Amino acid sequence: MPIVTAALRPCIQRQEDANWKFARATVPELRGWVLVLTDENGITGLGYCHAIPAITTHGEGAEAGLRFFLPMLESREPEDFAAFMDMAEATLAGNRSVKAAIDMALHDLVARRAGLPLSVLLGGCFRTTIQQSRILPIKAPAEMAIAAAALVAKGYATLKLKLAGDASLDARRVAEVRAAVGPKIALTLDPNQSYSAKGFIAAWKAMEAHDIALVEQPVPAADWAGLALVTRTLPVAVEADETVETVADVLRVIEGRVADVVNLKITKLGGIRNFVTAARMLEAGQIAPRMGAAFGPALLQAASAHAAASLRTLPFACELSEHDHILDDPFTPLPIEAGVITVPAGPGCGVTYA
């Protein structure tokens, strides 16, 4: 039964904190797109196109890429998603978030038509609940400490601190957050490429006393040797995020033992099929996967929760609860209870337009 209509809907969401900041940009709002595929029986599949300029693409670029594919999607059988995504990869260079939205919508439509949860198409669930980590955007140390305490009061047991590349100030941020939350809360650090390798190794000396569980992408994405140096030097897990944008990058991390953990995102890798491939490669290479934050509505987080549920091992908390501080979500809720998300049980990704 073919797709009869392929349509786009804008998805503009304000941040609760208009000054939400990480090392590369301030993000006051999200300007993404929702792809809606409908078959002859009126069943729809939904995909979200992530569009933050400092991370994936801007809204206009996302729209142009999606509109390029709309005529090709109509009259196609959604079950042929593998062939369609191969064609998309060959037809349009880059645009991974665009391809991710298409792949997500095709998977969602097939799962909804079958009356099955999305995770079933990915091989089934290893877990039905996903422990969440919440992100602390860059603020003054005292402000980050107050925000950290508030998140712990909501039930989060893991927090991730965004850092900015100023070693002295970043060390104060870590110290004040640790003092605010006590010794039992897991802390991870994400400088978002703001250090050189030796610069972060030096900065680490003032941070390591605060019991850090993981360090994410301290060096520029292109500095593979620097990331490997940090991984070999630090006594904690080091995660590759921006360094890994393709399945080929995953292979390179495994071959060179460049990192201990790889941050997996459907939006970054170009879709669910690539996510599954990357996850299986990491499993074979004995490198840990982790589901990182890709800001967006409940639709994106629900699809990511199904993907996380399909991972055989998931040793670190994920970041699929950031929709909790993003306003104007057009989808049915994806609740977070005591820092945990339950994988939606309904057909497809489990959420619909509200």
Quick one: which of 242, 251, 263 has its CA closest to 194?
242
Do the domains at 3-115 and 120-342 have one common CATH topology? no
The pTM of this model reads 0.95
Q: Are 32 and 11 in contact (CB under 8 A)?
A: yes
The vertex-308 CA angle with 215 and 293, nearest 5°, equals 45
The sign of the CA dihedral 82, 351, 323, 212 is negative
What percent of the chain stands above pLDDT 70? 100
Residue spans of the domains in the chain: they are 3-115, 120-342
pLDDT band at 81 (very low <50, low <70, confident <90, very high): very high
pLDDT the model gives residue 59: 83
CATH H superfamily, domain 3-115:
Enolase-like, N-terminal domain (3.30.390.10)
CB 148 within 8 A of CB 136: yes
| Length of the chain, in residues | 354
Q: Are 136 and 144 in contact (CB under 8 A)?
A: yes
What pLDDT score does 261 carry?
98
pLDDT score, position 1 = 84
The Cα–Cα gap between 312 and 325 comes to: 29
Q: pLDDT tens digits for 185-220?
A: 999 999 999 999 999 999 999 999 999 999 999 999
Determine the Cα–Cα distance for residues 300 and 252; give it in Å rounded to an integer.
27
Residue 177 sits at φ, ψ, to 5 deg, of -65, -45
**pLDDT of 280 higher than 90:** yes
- In percent, how much of the chain has pLDDT > 90? 95
Higher pLDDT, 354 or 185: 185
Summarised one tens digit per residue, pLDDT across range 112-142 is 999 999 999 999 999 999 999 999 999 999 9
- Asked if residues 154 and 180 have their Cβ atoms less than 8 Å apart, the reply is no
Q: What is the pLDDT of residues 154-191, one digit of tens each?
A: 999 999 999 999 999 999 999 999 999 999 999 999 99
CA 87, chain centre distance (Å) = 25
pLDDT confidence bin for 109, thresholds 50/70/90: very high
pLDDT at 56: 83
CA dihedral of 299, 297, 319, 258, whole degrees rounded to 10: 80
The pLDDT, as a whole number, for residue 37 is: 98
The per-residue pLDDT for 127 is 97
Q: What residue type is assigned to position 211 of the chain?
A: D
Distance CA 232, CA 236 (A): 10
Q: What is the pLDDT at residue 58?
A: 86
Tens digit of each residue's pLDDT (9 = 90 or more) over 35-65: 999 999 999 999 999 998 888 888 899 999 9
Report DSSP state, residue 344: P
Q: Are 318 and 291 in contact (CB under 8 A)?
A: yes
| β-strands 212-216, 186-190 pairing | parallel
Mean pLDDT of 334-351: 96
| pLDDT in the model for residue 57 | 87
Query: Residue 56 contacts by C-beta under 8 Å, 6 or more apart in sequence?
Result: 50, 62, 96, 97, 267, 268
Q: Which two tokens stand for residue 319?
A: 């970041």
Q: Which CATH number is 120-342 given?
A: 3.20.20.120
